[in-house]
Structures are given as structure tokens and as C-alpha cells.
Amino acid sequence: MPIAETPLQLPIPHMPAGFRAAGVHAGLKRNPTREDVALFVSTQPCTAAGVYTTNLVYAAPVAYDRARTPGEGFRAVVVNSGNANACTGSRGLQDAEAMAAAAAEQLGVQGSEVLVLSTGVIGEFLPMPVLTTGIAQAAAVLGESQQSLVTAARGMMTTDTRPKLYGRTFTAGGRAISITGVAKGAAMVGPRMATMLGVILTDAPLAAADAQRLLGEACEESFNCVSVDGHTSTNDTVLLLANGAAGGPCLGGEDLEEFGRLLMDTCRTLAREIADDGEGATHVIRIELTGAQTRDDARTIARAVADSPLVKTAISGADPNWGRIVSAAGYAGVPFDANRLVLHVNGTLLFAEGAPVACDETAVSDSIRGSRETEIRLVVGDGPGSITFYSSDLTAEYVHLNADYRT
């Protein structure tokens, strides 16, 4: 089934200094208008950090990258979509290494300086001649423009309806520093993390340990707070490349923490974009949960609500069915006093003190139907644990897309 692309939701960021990118159609996807190979390249060596799927069944590119990050001296990331190179045994790892080597040859660097990402159908071998040709084509059209960044982002997409890009800039010690993130994800999205691939580029100078710490913290509060269908992928990866092209010594002190805050904002924005682009979604669901004893408790309860098919279909039908929401919170396995549970949907109080609260359900229904985003606000006690968690509704289109994905 062809996937209709939708317009970008956010302004296109610019490329951080010292980076180039490209995306091309090589033939891994049947649709000739859909790019399926992408390159992100730095003109100088980068510090790299990575956060990866916790699925025990993980793809060859995950094994390849995880063994190398965090570290220094990296020059590029090569990406293919349409084929996950997952559950492919020793040949899969050999193909990941060959993919890095093919990119390195085109760029005039070493294979060890290239990281690899793949996404798509599980259990099929990469068509290496096709992929190698695509890598050469992408290397030939590398650019620094916003359009080059968009085509590279499109090369990461599978069932996404649009590329996902976001960027921030700030000044540190008189240096202008940029952060630009690119992500893909629309389904098989469930922490920890969300099929999802992400590449975050920055011209900041970062030490490897700092890059890894800040990326881990950002992913914990962003991509690990998204669930479209609760299905954790084999390929989930977020890479951070910092090439130091902004100049000066490695960031430290308040400058480093400000970088961390902007990195967090970039990841959170991309995470919301993933939820908003959930396969077949007509609503993005934002769950604001407070009052839990710990943040992990808050995440567990919020995820139970986010993953409930009954909650998701209710939002799809603009039904303010409070019973589905409070019961999902109750089966999450986290103790709380149900008589202290408070629920608002789009600002309207629906449940408190163990009972429903009289309200204009038609108005609440209209508020759901008339907005792309639905807010579920739950208070489960007076503890310090809180979280913002994103999901999407469940529609018949989601079923069609996944039933027809391979056939």
C-alpha cells in the first residue's frame, strides 16, 4: 500500500558546521520516489555516543555500533531503510561491516570511522550490490543545504508519512553552537526505545563521556516516553555526533549543561513528532502524570494508559471514556489509592474521589474531535514522581498498514 507523504510539521533546521548529508533511492524500496539510503558526513573527526534498543533480539547494526560507542574519531553514519538487517545471523554482521566499508571507500576514510543504521523488514538479507551502488550515489551528492538534510531524513523513513527534523542554536563562550536532530519512527514504537532511528549532529566540542551521559539522559526523558503500539524494535538507535567545528575546547560547566538542555528539547520534540506520525494516527495523545512515588512509577502507569487499545480507540472515536483510562492506570502494577485518583481530559475534570464527575461529555468529545492533540492529565497521589508520555490513537488504517506491510 503506497504511503502518502504529509507536509513537514516544523521548520527545517540548518546543518551544523562541518556536516554534509544526502539521501537517494537505490532500489531497496519498491517506490522510486522514496529515498532508501542516506549519509551523514563530517569534514573532521567526531565524538560519537549511542543509545540502543534493550530488546534481546537486536539487529546487526546495533551490535556493530554498540561495540564502538562512545568513542572518538568517527566521520560518518550510513543508513538504509526498507531492510532491517535483523535476525540475519553472522551474515548480517558481515553486511553491516561491508556497509561501513563501502561508505568509507567513497568518503576516503577508514571503515572503523563509520557507524551504521538499518530499518525495515526483519529477517531478510541486505541486497549488498544495490546498497553499495546507493551509497556511491549518495556520496556523490552530499551537500550542506537544508534540502540535503531533508533528503537524508527521507532516506531513513519506512512507514513514516514525513521526515522528522528539529534544531536549536545557542552561544557558549562567544561561539555559536548548533544542534540538529533527524529521526524516523511511526510504528513498532514502544520503550525502551521507540523503531526509531535518530541521528543528532552538533558542531559543539564534546568529550565522549559527556556526550554519552547527556544523550542517555535526553533519551530517557524523550524517546523512552513514547509508545505507539508497545512493540520494542530490534533496531532502535540514537546516535550523537559532535565534530567540534564551532571551535574552542570541550564544553564544560554551565555551557555543557545548557547544551544538555537543548539536546533534551531536541529529543523531546522529535519524540512528539514520532507519536504524532504514528501509523494511521488521527490524534497524538499527551499523558501528563503526577503524584507518583517515583518517576519510574509514573512512567509505568503512563505507559499502561498509552498502550491500552481501548484508550487508543476511544480517543480515535472522540469518546471521553474515563473508565478505560482509570482502569488502565489501575492495572499498571503500581500501588496507589484509587480514591485519590484525579483525571482531566482536555482540561475537563472527569473523575475524582473514586467516582465520575458530572460534565458536558459532548463538549469534551468535541474537544477531542476538533484537535490533533488530546491531553490526559492524571494525578495518582502526592508523590514527587511525574512524567510526560506520548502515544497516538488506534485506527483501522493502522491495521491495514501493518497487515499489508510485507504482502
Residues 321, 233 share a domain: no
In-domain check, residue 4: no
Q: Is the pLDDT of residue 267 over 70?
A: yes
> Looking at the structure, do residues 353 and 269 belong to the same domain, yes or no?
no
64 and 160 co-located in one domain: yes
Say if residue 190's pLDDT is above 50.
no
Confidence class for position 23, pLDDT limits 50, 70, 90: very high
Assigned domain for 38 exists: yes
Task: Answer whether residue 8 is part of any domain.
Answer: no
Q: Using the 3D structure, point to which of 246, 276, 306 is the last residue of a domain.
A: 276
- Active-site residue list: 195
| Residue 5 within any structural domain of the chain | no
Closest to 218 (Cα-Cα) out of 206, 233, 235, 228: 206
Of 232, 258, 276, which one is at a domain's C-terminal end? 276
Q: Residues 69, 143: one domain?
A: yes
351 pLDDT band, cuts 50/70/90, is very high
Q: Is residue 128 part of a domain?
A: yes
Q: What value does the mean pLDDT take over residues 3-23? A: 84
2 against 131, higher pLDDT: 131
Q: Answer yes or no: do 82 and 159 share one domain.
A: yes
Are residues 148 and 62 located together in one domain of the fold? yes
More confident residue, 140 or 232: 140
Q: Which of 137-151, 163-177, 183-197, 201-215 has the lowest mean pLDDT?
A: 183-197
7 falls within a domain: no
Q: Domain with 335 in it: what CATH number?
A: 3.10.20.340
In the chain, the number of structural domains is 2
pLDDT category at 399 given cuts 50, 70, 90 is: low
pTM beyond cutoff 0.75: yes
Judge whether 3 lies within some domain. no
Record the cell numbers describing residue 177, joined without a space: 553552537
Q: Decide if pLDDT at 232 tops 90.
A: no
Residue 382 domain boundaries: 284-403
In a domain, 359, yes or no: yes
User: Does residue 224 sit in the same domain as residue 366?
Assistant: no
Domain boundary residue, one of 276, 306, 339 = 276
Co-location of 259 and 355 in the same domain:
no
Residues 203 and 348 placed together within one structural domain of the fold: no
**Locate cell 572503523: which residue?**
112
